């Protein structure tokens, strides 16, 4: 597990206005806590932090944080906020860690191999892309691999099928479907609807009520 070095400065003031000023100067507002550490407001250089989490370990990288006037502290990124559009970091929460105690982290899942079902016309779906594991900070894998080379149409891989590195454990209760090969959906051809013309039914026209009475009277007169 690689480690990155990062320098942080103490923040004497907090608030939205201060945070905006820091970002304008190329810094990210941050806070440090954990392991009995009281929340400590900090700021880190935006470019240096982005470089640190752009390594192979990603956001799970161990950072040796150097705070002015203090010894280096091993930390990890517990949480962060990023801009919705440009994805620039807006705020970072650092968690002070003990390298001898396990942590729970989200690890990405990568699909490897070629599924035979795809050659048969199936579609490979990557359903679960990250999974939470427990392990020592120094044993966090960059990613877990899911081998799809045995998947035919209708087959799938679950979390319990993944091969875990030594010292890495799944969080209890995790058994999501990681990937599956599904049959393509066939489009049903539709024919244009034709208007059905109902035949006209001809009926004998009934005489009006007054006309019927007159005809009845004439018949009576003839009989007389």
For 202-218, give one letter per residue: b (16+ CB within 10 A) or e: eeeeeeeeeeeeeeeee
Cα–Cα distance between 41 and 18 in angstroms, integer?
Answer: 12
DSSP letter, residue 167: T
Model pLDDT, residue 14 = 85
Model pLDDT, residue 36 = 84
Instruction: Return the SS3 of 127.
Output: coil
Q: Looking at the predicted structure, is the pLDDT value of residue 178 above 90?
A: yes
Model pLDDT, residue 174 = 81
Residues 9 and 80 reside in one and the same domain: yes
Q: 69 or 45, which is more confident?
A: 45
- The strands making up 144-147's β-sheet, listed across from edge to edge, are 144-147, 103-112, 130-135, 169-170
Can you give the residue range of the structural domain that contains 18? 3-97
Least confident interval from 75-89, 144-158, 179-193: 179-193
pLDDT digits (tens, 9 = 90+) for 130-139: 999 999 999 9
Residues 116 and 158 reside in one and the same domain: yes
Identify whether 203 is part of a domain.
no
pLDDT band at 37 (very low <50, low <70, confident <90, very high): confident
Residues 75 and 118 reside in one and the same domain: no
Burial class of residue 32 (count of CB atoms within 10 Å of its CB; 0-12, 13-18, 19+): buried
Q: 195 or 70, which is more confident?
A: 70
Least confident interval from 79-88, 102-111, 211-220: 211-220
Q: 221 or 188, which is more confident?
A: 188
Residues 16 and 91 reside in one and the same domain: yes
- Would you tell me how many other CB atoms lie within 10 Å of the CB of residue 94? 25
Residues 82 and 115 reside in one and the same domain: no
Radius of gyration for the alpha carbons in the chain, expressed in angstroms and rounded: 37
Model pLDDT, residue 214 = 55
At 42, which CATH number? Answer: 2.40.240.10
Residues 46 and 124 reside in one and the same domain: no
Instruction: Give the residue from 101, 105, 112, 41 showing the smallest Cα distance to 79.
Output: 105
Residues 93 and 111 reside in one and the same domain: no
pLDDT band at 35 (very low <50, low <70, confident <90, very high): confident
Cα–Cα distance between 76 and 150 in angstroms, integer?
Answer: 37
pLDDT band at 172 (very low <50, low <70, confident <90, very high): confident
Identify whether 56 is part of a domain.
yes
């Amino acid at each position: 597990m690689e480690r990155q070095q990062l320098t942080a400065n103490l923040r004497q003031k907090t608030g939205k206005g201060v945070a905006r000023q820091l970002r304008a100067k190329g810094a990210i507002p941050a806070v440090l806590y954990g392991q009995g550490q009281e929340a400590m407001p900090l700021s880190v250089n935006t470019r240096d932090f982005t470089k640190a989490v752009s390594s192979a370990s990603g956001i799970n990288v161990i950072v040796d944080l150097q705070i002015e006037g203090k010894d280096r502290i091993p930390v990890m990124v517990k949480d962060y906020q990023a801009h919705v559009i440009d994805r620039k970091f807006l705020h970072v929460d650092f968690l002070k860690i003990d390298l001898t105690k396990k942590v729970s982290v989200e690890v990405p899942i990568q699909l490897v191999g070629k599924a035979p079902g795809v050659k048969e016309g199936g579609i490979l779906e990557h359903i679960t892309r990250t999974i939470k594991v427990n392990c020592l900070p120094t044993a966090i894998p960059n990613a877990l691999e899911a081998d799809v080379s045995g998947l035919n149409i209708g087959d799938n891989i679950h979390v319990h099928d993944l091969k875990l590195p030594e010292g890495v454990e799944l969080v209890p209760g995790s058994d999501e479907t990681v990937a599956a090969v599904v049959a393509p959906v066939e489009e049903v051809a539709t024919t244009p609807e034709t208007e059905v013309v109902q035949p006209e039914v001809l009926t004998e026209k009934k005489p009006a009520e007054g006309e019927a009475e007159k005809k009845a009277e004439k018949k009576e007169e003839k009989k007389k």
